[in-house]
Amino acid sequence: MRDRIRFSLALAGAWGFVMAVVAAAVLLVGADMSERERALVAPMLQERAASAILIAVLLIVPLALVLQALFRRHVQAARQLDEDARIMLTANPSHRAPPRGSAEIRRLAERFNGFADAHELLKQDVEKRVREANARIEQERNRLAALMSELVQSVIMCNSEGRILLYNARAMQLLRKPLDGASAAGKAHSLVGLGRSVFAIFDRNLIIHALESIHDRLRQGARSPVSNFVTTAPAGQLVRVQLAPVFGSASEAAPEGAPDAITGFVLILDNITRRIESGNRRDLLLQTLTQGTRASLASVRAAVETIASFPDMGKEAQNKFIGIIGEEAQRLSAKLDQTVGEFADSLRTEWPLEDMRGADLIAAARRRIESRLALPTKLESVDESIWLKVDSYSLMQAVTYLAGRLREEFGIREIRFGLESAGQLAHLDLIWTGAPLGSETTMAWQTDSMEAGGEACPLTLKEIIERHNAEIWYQIHKPSQREYFRIAIPVTRPEETTWSAPGAAESRPEFYDFDLFHQPGQTPELDNRPLAALNYTVFDTETTGLKPSEGDEIVSIGAVRIVNGRLLEHEVFEQLVDPGRDMSAEASKITGIETSMLENQPTIDKVLPAFRQFCEDTVLVAHNAAFDMRFLRLKEEATGVAFTQPVLDTLLMSAVLHPNLDAHRLEAIAARMGVNPIGRHTALGDAIMTGEVFLRMIPLLAEQGIRTLGEARAASQKTYFARIEY
Amino acid sequence: MGKKVLIADDEPNIVVSLEFLMKQKGYVVKVANTGEDALNAVAEFGPDLILLDVMMPRMSGYDLCQKVRENPAWQRIKIIMLSAKGRDVEVNKGMAVGADAYVTKPFSTKELLAKVHEMLGE
């Protein structure tokens, strides 16, 4: 638009100039004439005034043609040369400027191409050296990878924000999540990936709690504390997790006695599903054996003693007692046989309970109740010397749950805690006043599913108490009118578990993206973050047709991740989708997907949740994103899956970068940027190509002053293409 | 008339012996096989002492004990818990919910009778 105004102004100027010259010439000649000559010429000029004006107006046409040619040869060609030069310098060193415009600009283009040749040679030389250096690093990397792959346990290393920096193949296998309804096809997506959030795998609060307890232990002077907990993996396995902190190098400069800065953590995972199952079975057997035996023995003993005490009882009564003895003896043998048969393969239960000071557990529970339930808490007498063997997270959930129900159902305004020793047991009391509970209530609370402070727990209170080998009951202390839940729980003596965490030593392996340690959090200030520092999911969809509003459906989703400026080609999402309708002939021709290929594939309501998990906490990128997003948005209501993260569109960004070039199709951009078009028209192939194009755009955008996500989105919105709607 | 003893246990074989022994000692005996029956029996029969098994279907001995202790009219009733559960926490809980004694199975009938005797103040 601006060009058009400039051109119009130039044309008006040129025309005005010509008119001014002609008028000046006429005035000069007029001034030179005598009075008589003027009287003779004036009527002649007046008669021809109309023709003169017509000629003057028509003069605009040749002037415009001349100006346009000049504009193309000098201005337009110079601009195109500028854009070509930028591409050569940043995105594609093999790009060359075609000869355009005036002879000078053509010569200039040749010079530029010459420089580009020299630049490319230099660059190739540098790249060769970089390749050699990379090969050495690769070798080191492979050694570490080999070591990690030999580990029996799954290992995941994260930065302090929970972004994954490193993982091994076992972790990837363990943390796969099958798509609902696609189990027959064996489809599953791993939730592990570089730069992905570990909170998509494990409950955020669980990890925060483990880190808090490590902080507490560090404050108490523990040297290398670790925290253990058991949780469920996304596919339902029980996983025993050991969390160890990673300390940053900053701690060396910190004053003595100051706690080390935790810059990340390592999770060591162990699948204990089978062990726990067999352990539970063993517990059950042992319980039925002991309790069953005791019950039978009690009957036998009572019968024998009764006969002995009353030898002169009648024959009938005597036979009855002898019958009981025989029956119980048989029951006992059967029980023993059964136990021996089943007990052989049962292993030891390993529900890991960790040693924790009772006072610390109460402190953590108070923090939690106050923050989650906004319920004030106080301490009564607490014996600081008591250590307990607990799964602190689940026990705290249990206590929070009780406090939550007391507040909701009985309007309790304050909870107090007490802890006292009772021989081999400790009594952990949750105390309140003024709301006596019925025994039905306390019974129901123990078996209801637990929910407190917006959090649900898969276990019931009863199960948690059983897991701790504890008992819980409700009591009223009449004199003080205080009521309390008392948890009787076995005490233990502290035992420090140590684990030598990898410190900030120089030998830190150069493997994967340790730079992510320095990455700031995913906050609402996302818009202010530089484009180069963000994590992206680049995706593409294939569809049955081009009109989502008329019933066209997604048949394939492909996506790839960009982390720290690297396209991670092994961290991909690729899934065909049963659209519930036939492919049109054209769509089949373009995508190569036939209707028959989509039978037995999962439907969109199964695929979208997995896809959302894949792109959690990343910025979405797509070419012509409006189209793909429209398909996703139309499914929001039906699937309950919403994609709310920011979206960037390579089509719009191409228009921002090259407003003077017409072609913004993916192939055209790829050719300009020197990206090889491989696997076009498969969702994954297109996603990868879009990702590579996007990576090359980042430096070009930076040249135009577009450095942050917010700036990129604002610039995109301004372009003409932003107005296209499907 | 002798004192009243309520036997609440779902194991018929132990009930036979207990019933026989208590009757021989001159107590008036009533038997309940579930927690709910036992609760009704407490109201109707008005026992002086309950021999209460912990593990009963539907309502456990702990719950029954607590329900009895919730009623001020039943405070004088003595409760002896009989249980195959012998861990510390279980004994602790039994005493806490209001039992007067906790006896782990198998027990000596002589000692049990002595305890009953003592509790009934005879």
- In Å, what is the CA distance from A482 to each residue of A40, A386, A435? 127, 23, 9
Is the confidence at residue A516, as pLDDT, over 80?
no
What integer pLDDT is reported at residue A517 of this predicted model? 37
| Closest by Cα among A185, A261, A28 to A602 | A185
What sections of A151-272 are H helices per DSSP? Answer: 169-174, 204-219
What is the number of alpha carbons within 13 Å of residue A343 lying toward its C-beta?
A: 13
In the block, which residue shows the tokens 């039943």?
A: B74
Report the distance separating Cα B97 and Cα B93, nearest Å: 6
Cβ-defined contact of A290 to B13 (cutoff 8 Å) = no
What sections of chain B are H helices per DSSP? Answer: 12-24, 35-45, 61-70, 88-96, 109-119
| A3 vs A534: which has the higher pLDDT | A534
What integer pLDDT is reported at residue A662 of this predicted model? 65
Give the residue-averaged pLDDT of A304-325. 88
- Cα A546 to chain centroid distance, Å, stands at 30
What integer pLDDT is reported at residue A725 of this predicted model? 40
User: Within chain B, how many helices (H) and strands (E) appear?
Assistant: 5, 5
**Model pLDDT for residues A124-171, shown as the tens digit of each residue:** 999 999 999 988 888 777 777 777 766 767 889 898 888 888 888 788
| A187 vs A357: which has the higher pLDDT | A357
Report the distance separating Cα A242 and Cα A230, nearest Å: 9
Going by pLDDT thresholds of 50, 70 and 90, the confidence category of residue A250 is very low
Q: Is A681 a catalytic residue?
A: yes
Q: Is A471 on the interface with B (CB under 8 A)?
A: yes
Is the confidence at residue B51, as pLDDT, over 90?
yes
Which residue in chain A has the smallest CA separation from B22? A306
Per the CB < 8 A criterion, the answer to whether B13 and A299 are in contact is yes
Give the residue-averaged pLDDT of B60-84. 91
- Please state whether the peptide bond connecting residue B106 to the residue before it is cis, i.e. omega within 30 degrees of 0: yes
**Model pLDDT for residues A349-382, shown as the tens digit of each residue:** 456 677 788 888 898 888 888 888 889 999 988 8
Is the confidence at residue A497, as pLDDT, over 50?
no
Q: Is B86 on the interface with A (CB under 8 A)?
A: yes
Q: Residue A229 pairs with which residues in a beta bridge?
A: A241
Average confidence score pLDDT of chain A: 81
Per the CB < 8 A criterion, the answer to whether B63 and A443 are in contact is yes
Q: B35: Cβ–Cβ under 8 A, 6 or more apart, which residues?
A: B8, B56, B57, B58, B59, B60, B61, B63, B64
Query: What is the DSSP pairing of strand A176-178 with strand A188-190?
Result: antiparallel
Per the CB < 8 A criterion, the answer to whether A694 and A537 are in contact is no
What sections of A204-314 are H helices per DSSP? Answer: 204-219, 273-309
| A601 vs A457: which has the higher pLDDT | A601
Considering A74, A215, A427, A681, which one is annotated as catalytic? Answer: A681
| A262 vs B74: which has the higher pLDDT | B74
What integer pLDDT is reported at residue A485 of this predicted model? 92
Contact list, A292 vs chain B (CB under 8 Å): 84
Cβ-defined contact of B14 to A298 (cutoff 8 Å) = yes
User: Within chain A, how many helices (H) and strands (E) appear?
Assistant: 22, 21
Contact list, B90 vs chain A (CB under 8 Å): 471
**Model pLDDT for residues A123-134, shown as the tens digit of each residue:** 899 999 999 998
Q: How far apart are the first and last CA of chain A?
A: 26
Is the confidence at residue A47, as pLDDT, over 80?
yes
Is the confidence at residue A521, as pLDDT, over 80?
no
Q: What percent of chain B has pLDDT over 90?
A: 60
Q: What percent of chain A has pLDDT over 90?
A: 13
Query: What values do phi and psi take at B53, rounded to 5?
Result: -80, 140
The residues in A 581-640 lying below 8 A from B, measured between CB atoms, are: none
Mutate to test the interface with A, among B7, B20, B80, B113 (most CBs of A within 10 A): B20
Cβ-defined contact of B88 to A305 (cutoff 8 Å) = no
Report the distance separating Cα A568 and Cα A570, nearest Å: 6
What integer pLDDT is reported at residue A93 of this predicted model? 84
Q: A274: Cβ–Cβ under 8 A, 6 or more apart, which residues?
A: none
Q: Distance from A439 to chain B by nearest Cα, in Å? A: 7
Q: Is A310 on the interface with B (CB under 8 A)?
A: yes
What sections of A507-569 are H helices per DSSP? Answer: none
Going by pLDDT thresholds of 50, 70 and 90, the confidence category of residue A453 is low
Q: Distance from A442 to chain B by nearest Cα, in Å? A: 10
Most confident stretch, A390-394, A631-635, B12-16: B12-16
What integer pLDDT is reported at residue A351 of this predicted model? 62
Query: What values do phi and psi take at A720, rounded to 5?
Result: -55, -40
Going by pLDDT thresholds of 50, 70 and 90, the confidence category of residue A508 is very low
Cβ-defined contact of B84 to A317 (cutoff 8 Å) = no
Of B89, B104, B106, the CB nearest to A471: B89
Extract the tokens encoding A33. 């004439």
| Closest by Cα among B16, B21, B14, B58 to B38 | B58
Cβ-Cβ contacts under 8 Å between A and B: the total is 104
Report the distance separating Cα A153 and Cα A242, nearest Å: 11
Contact list, A310 vs chain B (CB under 8 Å): 20, 24
Which residue in chain B has the smallest CA separation from A303? B17
What integer pLDDT is reported at residue A597 of this predicted model? 82
Contact list, B52 vs chain A (CB under 8 Å): none
Per the CB < 8 A criterion, the answer to whether A101 and A73 are in contact is yes
What integer pLDDT is reported at residue A655 of this predicted model? 82
Is the confidence at residue A182, as pLDDT, over 60?
no
Per the CB < 8 A criterion, the answer to whether B7 and B82 are in contact is no
Give the residue-averaged pLDDT of A230-242. 82
Q: Is B109 on the interface with A (CB under 8 A)?
A: yes
In the block, which residue shows the tokens 């319920």?
A: A375
Per the CB < 8 A criterion, the answer to whether B89 and A471 are in contact is yes
Give the residue-averaged pLDDT of A419-432. 91
Extract the tokens encoding A106. 């053509």
Per the CB < 8 A criterion, the answer to whether A1 and A49 are in contact is no
Return the sign of the alpha-carbon dihedral for residues A652, A657, A663, A665.
negative
Cβ-defined contact of B86 to A294 (cutoff 8 Å) = yes
Cβ-defined contact of B89 to A327 (cutoff 8 Å) = no
Cβ-defined contact of A306 to B90 (cutoff 8 Å) = no
| A88 vs A236: which has the higher pLDDT | A88
What integer pLDDT is reported at residue A187 of this predicted model? 57
**Model pLDDT for residues A286-295, shown as the tens digit of each residue:** 777 777 788 8
pTM over 0.80: no
Q: Is A423 on the interface with B (CB under 8 A)?
A: yes
Q: Distance from A307 to chain B by nearest Cα, in Å? A: 9
This complex has an ipTM of 0.76
Contact list, B88 vs chain A (CB under 8 Å): 423-425, 488, 490
Is the confidence at residue A89, as pLDDT, over 50?
yes
Q: Is B25 on the interface with A (CB under 8 A)?
A: no
Q: Is A328 on the interface with B (CB under 8 A)?
A: yes
Is the confidence at residue A663, as pLDDT, over 50?
yes
- In Å, what is the CA distance from A359 to each residue of A224, A363, A419? 21, 6, 8
DSSP reduced 3-state for A471: strand
Cβ-defined contact of B11 to A320 (cutoff 8 Å) = no
Is the confidence at residue A324, as pLDDT, over 50?
yes
Extract the tokens encoding A488. 């009787």
Is the confidence at residue A681, as pLDDT, over 80?
no
Buried b (16+ CB within 10 A) or exposed e, A440-461: eebbebbeeebebbeeebebbb
Return the sign of the alpha-carbon dihedral for residues A83, A87, A90, A95.
negative
Report the distance separating Cα A37 and Cα A655, nearest Å: 64
What integer pLDDT is reported at residue A349 of this predicted model? 47
Report the distance separating Cα B6 and Cα B9, nearest Å: 10
Contact list, B107 vs chain A (CB under 8 Å): 298, 301
Give the residue-averaged pLDDT of A36-64. 87
Lowest mean pLDDT among A201-210, A347-356, A415-424, B61-70: A347-356
Report the distance separating Cα A151 and Cα A155, nearest Å: 8
Going by pLDDT thresholds of 50, 70 and 90, the confidence category of residue A37 is confident
Nearest-10 crossing angle of helices A358-373, A204-219: 140
| A339 vs A567: which has the higher pLDDT | A567
Buried b (16+ CB within 10 A) or exposed e, A4-36: eeeeeebbeebbeeeeeeeeeeeeeeeeeeeee
Lowest mean pLDDT among A103-117, A322-336, B68-82, B108-122: A322-336
What integer pLDDT is reported at residue A219 of this predicted model? 84
Buried b (16+ CB within 10 A) or exposed e, A418-431: bbbeeeebbbbbbb
Buried b (16+ CB within 10 A) or exposed e, A45-67: eeeeeeeeeeeeeeeeeebbeeb
Cβ-defined contact of A306 to B20 (cutoff 8 Å) = yes
Cβ-defined contact of A310 to B24 (cutoff 8 Å) = yes
Cβ-defined contact of A488 to B92 (cutoff 8 Å) = yes
Q: Is B71 on the interface with A (CB under 8 A)?
A: no
Is the confidence at residue A21, as pLDDT, over 90?
yes
Which residue in chain A has the smallest CA separation from B55? A291
Q: Distance from A364 to chain B by nearest Cα, in Å? A: 24
Report the distance separating Cα A205 and Cα A394, nearest Å: 11
What integer pLDDT is reported at residue A657 of this predicted model? 85
Going by pLDDT thresholds of 50, 70 and 90, the confidence category of residue A278 is low
Q: Is A303 on the interface with B (CB under 8 A)?
A: yes
Report the distance separating Cα A220 and Cα A17, nearest Å: 89
Report the distance separating Cα B61 and Cα B42, nearest Å: 13
Cβ-defined contact of B21 to A294 (cutoff 8 Å) = no
Cβ-defined contact of A292 to B84 (cutoff 8 Å) = yes
Q: Is B84 on the interface with A (CB under 8 A)?
A: yes
Q: Distance from A486 to chain B by nearest Cα, in Å? A: 9
Q: What percent of chain B has pLDDT over 70?
A: 99
What integer pLDDT is reported at residue A415 of this predicted model? 92
**Model pLDDT for residues A534-578, shown as the tens digit of each residue:** 899 999 998 888 777 778 889 999 999 998 888 887 788 888 898
Lowest mean pLDDT among A66-80, A136-150, A454-468: A136-150
Is the confidence at residue B122, as pLDDT, over 80?
no
Report the distance separating Cα A139 and Cα A149, nearest Å: 15
Per the CB < 8 A criterion, the answer to whether A461 and A402 are in contact is yes
Q: Is A332 on the interface with B (CB under 8 A)?
A: no
Mutate to test the interface with B, among A325, A335, A429, A471 (most CBs of B within 10 A): A471
What integer pLDDT is reported at residue A695 of this predicted model? 92
What integer pLDDT is reported at residue A680 of this predicted model? 67
Q: Residue A190 pairs with which residues in a beta bridge?
A: A176
Give the residue-averaged pLDDT of A238-245. 87
Of A294, A306, A471, the CB nearest to B105: A294
